[in-house]
Structure 1
Amino acid sequence: MIRTATVEDVPVIHAMIRELADYEKALHEARATEEQLRRALFGEHPAAYAHLAVSDEDGEPVGFALWFLNFSTWRGVHGVYLEDLYVRPERRGGGHGKALLAELARICVERGYGRLEWSVLNWNAPSIAFYESLGARPQDEWTVYRLSGGALAELGGA
């Protein structure tokens, strides 16, 4: 079952974000606090949205999708950017990841959004195979760039 996250879900979402960061060998970079997530997801002007996959047996959250809107200037419509998709290892293979992606695809179709996009680490072969099994294709002609830390502060005039 997939449901929209509530403010009461922030602690479990936070825990799963940390589990995902650990899986991606970057736990030291996962500095978001529960309060930051609460404000981002449920504040006056939400910056992101979340859905939970919950177990049919006990109703416990087993995975999540955290996403936000982007915009295509070429198409003139919004899209969804999936920031994180995670299913707890012991619950993988039960269709939870596919159900989360299907819910986001449904939102896109229902609202007339043109794309559902995300990034995946090059070494994450199981996830790449899963995404490609659903019909997703890599965007090989694009390279992601990022400004952060000192370079961001320098360019921003800090």
Structure 2
Amino acid sequence: MCTNKKYNKIQPRYSGEKILNDLTIRFARPDEGALLLSFIKKLADYEKRLHEVIASEQDIIDVIFNRKIAEALIADYRDEPAGFAIFFYNFSTFTGKPGIYIEDLFVNPEIRGKGIGKLLFSYIAKIALERKCSRVEWSVLKWNKPSIKFYSGMDATLKDEWVLYKLSGKALRDIALLAKDF
């Protein structure tokens, strides 16, 4: 949760918010670290990147519930966890307002096609507007045609003029060494 009260219009409601008869979108609870990690692993497996997941249940609990760096939503379909989304704030210097970045969004494959993913997006969009955010952003793997089609159907803008970079591991440590004396 953002620590700036100005942007903290929605407080987590652990009881959930009914969206449709069979679907509830709610903030994840602190006792659901294992559930969140299982969704993360399912997503990573789908993306052929399961070998990259090194996060532990405690890491997820710490970042989301203790340090409040990110937030997590759970989609319950017929009272069973069916999908999730993890998001956090970013910032637009051009608009002078925060935005929301969706790190992960996943719906169990066996129940896709019921609108659960779109409702997770809709709920995040609602949060963004209520918190006075100027945008919602996310990334998708180039080969993931079903997701690209899904996002295109929401009138999302493809930002193909941007190239995404990442520093991690040794590269991150090496560049940080340049600032060791500062």
TM-score higher than 0.5 here? yes
| 1:136 alignment partner, one of 119, 143, 156 | 156
Matched residues in 1 for 2:171 and 2:56: separation? Answer: 24
Q: Which position in structure 1 is the counterpart of 2:175?
A: 155
Q: Which position in structure 1 is the counterpart of 2:68?
A: 46
Post-superposition shift, 1:21? 0.5
Q: How many residues align?
A: 155
Post-superposition shift, 1:10? 1.4
Match for 2:96: what amino acid? G
Matched residues in 2 for 1:10 and 1:146: separation? Answer: 26
Which structure's CA Rg is the greater one?
2
Post-superposition shift, 1:91? 1.2
Post-superposition shift, 1:110? 1.1
Matched residues in 1 for 2:133 and 2:36: separation? Answer: 25
CA RMSD, 1 decimal = 1.0
Post-superposition shift, 1:152? 1.1
Residues 32-82 of structure 1: per-residue CA shift (max 9 Å, x gap): 000000001110x31100001101x2x111000000000001100000000
Mind listing any 5+ residue stretches in structure 1 that lack a counterpart? none
Matched residues in 1 for 2:87 and 2:131: separation? Answer: 15
Matched residues in 1 for 2:142 and 2:131: separation? Answer: 31
Match for 2:89: what amino acid? L
Runs (4 or more) in structure 1 with deviation over 3 Å come to none
Task: Calculate the TM-score normalised by the size of structure 1.
Answer: 0.95
Does residue 29 of structure 1 match 2:52?
yes
Q: Percent identity?
A: 46
Mind listing any 5+ residue stretches in structure 2 that lack a counterpart? 1-23
